[in-house]
Amino acid sequence: MSDKKEPSKISWVGALWLVVVAVAISGLLCWNFGKEAGYEEGHASGYSEGYETGKSNLQQKIPDMCQESYNHGYEKGLEAAASKTTGNDYNTQERPDNSRQASDEQSQTVYITNTGEKYHRDGCQYLRQSKIAISLDDAINQGYTACSRCW
């Protein structure tokens, strides 16, 4: 008895199955490789098209957005001004009457500038560069008139 085994032979059916499996595997690999290439190409073109569309839409909306922002800020400023009535905050809707009694005018301190022709209340935005204290009566006698912003 011999211990030698004869090599097994592959039948034509087995060989056919090997060919089918090899073709299927190579087809799957090619499909996956092509899918990735197609994905990259589609992603790049879709990104570019989406970017351009978004940019165009934004450019059309910017004027409206700016106007809306301006209106919102303007309304908030009016609300804030309406809620402030004392100190350095001036209410634009409720300004005091310019016809004050003489005793109030003599005792009230106002401010003038080196170059201006108006008198101001303390905290007025126009007093940034110079601020000289003077009584209201003296300011009127010297020809100064009230600032339209703070009076």
CB-based contacts of 113, cutoff 8 Å, min separation 6: 120, 126, 127, 129, 130, 131, 132
pLDDT in tens, 11-38: 777 777 888 888 888 777 777 666 666 6
Are the C-beta atoms of 119 and 129 separated by less than 8 Å?
no
pLDDT at position 111, please?
93
What are the CB-based long-range contacts (under 8 Å, 24+) for 111-117? 112/139, 112/144, 117/143, 117/144, 117/145
CB-based contacts of 120, cutoff 8 Å, min separation 6: 110, 111, 112, 113, 126, 127, 147, 149, 150, 151
CA distance 27 to 73: 64
Q: Which residues pair with 111 in a beta bridge?
A: 120, 133
pLDDT at position 139, please?
92
pLDDT at position 67, please?
76
Tell me if the pTM is above 0.75: no
Instruction: Give the confidence band of 142 by pLDDT, cuts at 50, 70, 90.
Output: very high
pLDDT at position 54, please?
75
pLDDT over threshold 70, residue 8: no
pLDDT at position 105, please?
46
pLDDT over threshold 90, residue 143: yes
CA distance 147 to 122: 12
pLDDT at position 10, please?
67
pLDDT in tens, 90-141: 444 455 555 554 455 457 999 999 888 999 998 888 888 888 999 999 999 9
pLDDT in tens, 51-74: 777 777 777 777 777 777 777 777
pLDDT at position 92, please?
47
pLDDT at position 26, please?
79
DSSP state string for 5-62: -PPPPPPHHHHHHHHHHHHHHHHHHHHHHHHHHHHHHHHHHHHHHHHHHHHHHHHHHH
